[in-house]
Amino acid sequence: MQPMQVSCQKDGHATTGLHGLVLCLIDLYTGARWGELAGQMRHEYDPDNQAIVIQAPLKEIGGNLFKNGRRVGPGGTFEDGAISPQVSRRRGNTRRKGRTKTPAGTRWVALPPSIAVLYETLLASPDHPFTFCTPEGHPWRRSNFRQRYWRPAWDGVHPDAPTHKRHVPAILSEFSFHEGRHTHNTWLTEDGVPEVARRARLGQKMKGIARVYDHVTPTMTEQLLTALEERFTRSVDALSSGEQAQLLMWFPRLRKTLQPGDETVSEDRIAMSSPFAI
Structure letter (DSSP) for residue 51: E
pLDDT on residue 169: 86
Same-domain check for residues 205 and 88? no
Same-domain check for residues 159 and 176? yes
Closest CA to 3 of 242, 204, 247: 247
Same-domain check for residues 70 and 187? no
The overall average pLDDT reported for the chain is 82
CATH number, domain containing residue 134: 1.10.443
Tens digits of residue pLDDT in 44-60: 999 999 999 999 999 99
Whether residue 278 lies inside any domain: the answer is no
d(CA 66, CA 64): 7
Q: What is the mean pLDDT of residues 22-32?
A: 95
pLDDT on residue 270: 42
Tens digits of residue pLDDT in 70-82: 899 888 888 865 5
Are the C-beta atoms of residues 117 and 236 closer than 8 Å to each other? no
Tens digits of residue pLDDT in 100-137: 878 888 999 999 999 999 999 999 876 788 999 888 88
Same-domain check for residues 14 and 43? yes
Whether residue 263 lies inside any domain: the answer is no
Same-domain check for residues 69 and 177? no
Q: Which of 42, 73, 99 is the last residue of a domain?
A: 99
Whether residue 104 lies inside any domain: the answer is no
Say how many CA atoms lie within 13 Å of 120 toward its Cβ: 20
pLDDT on residue 200: 93
Report helix, strand or coil for 142.
Answer: helix
Q: Is the pLDDT of residue 168 over 90?
A: no
Range with the poorest average pLDDT among 159-173, 219-233, 235-249: 159-173
Greater confidence (264 vs 171) lies with 171
Greater confidence (187 vs 16) lies with 187
**Count of domains observed in the chain:** 2
Q: Which residues pair with 265 in a beta bridge?
A: none
Same-domain check for residues 73 and 179? no
pLDDT on residue 171: 85
Report helix, strand or coil for 157.
Answer: strand
Q: Is the pLDDT of residue 13 over 60?
A: no
Provide the 10 A C-beta neighbour count for residue 133. Answer: 23
Structure letter (DSSP) for residue 133: B
Whether residue 183 lies inside any domain: the answer is yes
d(CA 64, CA 37): 17
Report the percentage of the chain scoring pLDDT > 70: 78
Q: Is the pLDDT of residue 185 over 60?
A: yes
Tens digits of residue pLDDT in 227-271: 999 999 999 999 999 999 999 999 999 999 987 655 544 444 444
pLDDT on residue 4: 55
Report the percentage of the chain scoring pLDDT > 90: 50
Q: Which of 46, 73, 99 is the last residue of a domain?
A: 99
Q: How confident is the model at residue 2 (pLDDT cuts 50, 70, 90)?
A: low
Q: Model-level pTM? A: 0.82
Residue type, 56: A
Same-domain check for residues 81 and 52? no
Residue type, 265: V
Q: Which residues contact 238 (CB under 8 A, 6 or more apart)?
A: 2, 4, 5
Whether residue 190 lies inside any domain: the answer is yes
Q: Is the pLDDT of residue 20 over 90?
A: no
Same-domain check for residues 28 and 161? yes
Report helix, strand or coil for 238.
Answer: coil
Whether residue 187 lies inside any domain: the answer is yes
Q: Which residues pair with 60 in a beta bridge?
A: 65
Same-domain check for residues 202 and 77? no
Whether residue 71 lies inside any domain: the answer is yes
Same-domain check for residues 172 and 85? no
Closest CA to 132 of 59, 185, 58, 48: 58
Containing H/E element for 38?
helix 34-38
Q: Which residues pair with 51 in a beta bridge?
A: 46, 110
What separation, in Å, do the N-terminal and C-terminal C-alpha atoms of the chain show? 34
Whether residue 84 lies inside any domain: the answer is yes
Greater confidence (99 vs 35) lies with 35
Closest CA to 154 of 269, 276, 3, 38: 3
Same-domain check for residues 147 and 242? yes
Same-domain check for residues 87 and 209? no
Closest CA to 131 of 183, 67, 60: 67
- Where in the sequence is the domain holding 187, given as residue range(s)? 3-56+111-258
pLDDT on residue 116: 97
Structure letter (DSSP) for residue 65: E
d(CA 215, CA 211): 8
Q: Which of 43, 77, 99 is the last residue of a domain?
A: 99
